[in-house]
Amino acid sequence: MAHHKSAIKRIRTSLKERAYNRHYKKQMRLAIKAVLNSDNKEQAATELKNAYKIIDRLAAKNIIHKNNAANKKARLARFVNKMA
């Protein structure tokens, strides 16, 4: 366990940030699953728009890297475009 007051505060802060990041990453994973599990192309397109919004927000807040966000968006777009 940390001995310095600043180290103790840092541990407290990092736990809060971890909970915050996990919450938003979970939202992102659920949005991606919604796109991948959609039945038709129209539903997938609406879910894709929602997923883009969440992924872009996470990249802007540095919760995920911008290249990681771009890869996820490209993968989802490719999936939706291949749907019949």
DSSP string computed for 42-75 = HHHHHHHHHHHHHHHHHHHTTSS-HHHHHHHHHH
**pLDDT attached to residue 56:** 98
CB within 8 Å of 11: residues ≥ 6 apart = 2
Contacts made by residues 5-9, CB under 8 angstroms, sequence distance 24+? none
The boundaries of the domain holding residue 46 are 23-82
Q: How many domains would you assign to the chain?
A: 1
CATH of the domain at 42: 1.20.58.110
- 48 found inside a domain: yes
- 60 found inside a domain: yes
pLDDT for 21-36, tens place per residue? 999 999 999 999 999 9
18/14 Cα distance (integer angstroms): 6
- Model pTM score: 0.88
- Each of the 84 residues of the chain gets a pLDDT tens digit; together they read 788 999 999 999 999 999 999 999 999 999 999 999 999 999 999 999 999 999 999 999 999 999 999 999 999 999 999 997
